Amino acid sequence: MTVRHQKTVKTLIEAMPYIRCFWGTTVVLKYGGAAMTSPRLQEQFAEDVVLLRLVGMKPVVVHGGGPQISTHMKRLGMMPAFVDGQRITDEATMEVAKMVLVGKVNKEIVGLINRHGGTAVGISGEDGRLLQVAPKQHVDEAGNEVDLGFVGEVTEVNADVLDLLAEANIPVVASVGADASGQAYNVNADAVAGELAAALGAEKIIFLTDIDGIYEGQDADLTPVSECDLAYLGALVAAGRVAGGMLPKAAAARRALEAGVSSAHVIDGRVEHAVLLEILTDAGCGTKVTA
């Protein structure tokens, strides 16, 4: 047996206890960052999702598409506007967001997974009343209330819709929801992932990012944390060491863990086959957070 063969066998044996442990469980994957834009990483993500399904897990993919929305708005002569990193979403912007998230990005992800042997089904939060939402209230740093327009936060999840889909398929969820009147709202994809993980009783929730994980240092001393609990994560947030785009991920992780999800993972989606490395190997490739 060659050295390469020995390494292959060792990897397969290392994965066995994880496959046994997580067989039949739900894993929510928040897809974003470089893994969503690099053709090579897109292919590898799809392979990872299909393999998880083949070894008995139930992956549920959640995605946003902020950069794609902004790109299409500019093509249409519209200028994207943000407050504290949140998109001001008027009626015209919401129309573009739905077109991009549901009609373009979602279908591209579904097609990608299906090309790699999976059976993916695209769905938005409007379908089957999956995500019921209310307008999100936002207060800026000066204490002023800001009207974000059609930006929502999840108030209720109809988990039965995804339970049925996930029995035989890989659901791919676009982060759009609707209120009681049927009005569509753009919803933060991290928050959607957290709410779905909580409602589905998922085993894990995984966020693909463009960093090594959650850092405990600052500036030049950026040391990724391999594993921590919610108390330590809260301390990092309070100290300002978790900020910007990581804040909604931290909040979504807390929501999921407090609802009974076993672990949340912030992983580096720039790493080849990052999802498989985090779930099926001892080393992993990011930060694991537990309650």
How confident is the model at residue 207, as a pLDDT? Answer: 97
Mean pLDDT of the chain: 93
How confident is the model at residue 242, as a pLDDT? Answer: 87
Burial of 48 (0-12, 13-18, 19+ CB in 10 A): buried
Domain contains 10: no
Q: Which range is least confidently modeled, 20-29, 111-120, 135-144, 278-287?
A: 135-144
Evaluate if residue 10 carries a pLDDT over 90.
Answer: no
CA distances for 285 relative to 200, 203, 278, angstroms: 25, 18, 5
How confident is the model at residue 219, as a pLDDT? Answer: 58
Domain contains 19: no
Domain contains 11: no
Domain contains 145: yes
Domain contains 91: yes
**Confidence band for 129, pLDDT divided at 50, 70 and 90:** very high
Q: If we measure between CA atoms, which residue out of 55, 59, 48, 51 comes closest to residue 17?
A: 55
Domain contains 16: no
What does the DSSP assignment read for 225-271?
Answer: -SEEEHHHHHHHHHTTSS-TTHHHHHHHHHHHHHTT-SEEEEEETTS
Domain contains 97: yes
How confident is the model at residue 153, as a pLDDT? Answer: 96
How confident is the model at residue 85, as a pLDDT? Answer: 84
* Enclosing domain of residue 269: 25-290
* Number of domains, the chain: 1
How confident is the model at residue 149, as a pLDDT? Answer: 95
Domain contains 12: no
Would you state the structure tokens that stand for residue 269, as one six-digit string? Answer: 């989606």
CATH code of the domain covering residue 286: 3.40.1160.10
How confident is the model at residue 218, as a pLDDT? Answer: 61
Q: Report which listed range, 139-153, 206-220, 267-281, is most confident.
A: 267-281
How confident is the model at residue 274, as a pLDDT? Answer: 95
Which is more confidently placed, 29 or 223? Answer: 29
**Confidence band for 220, pLDDT divided at 50, 70 and 90:** low
243 φ/ψ sector (left φ>0, alpha ψ -120 to 50, else beta): beta
- Residue 61 identity (one-letter amino acid): V
What is the CA 218 to chain-centroid distance, rounded?
25
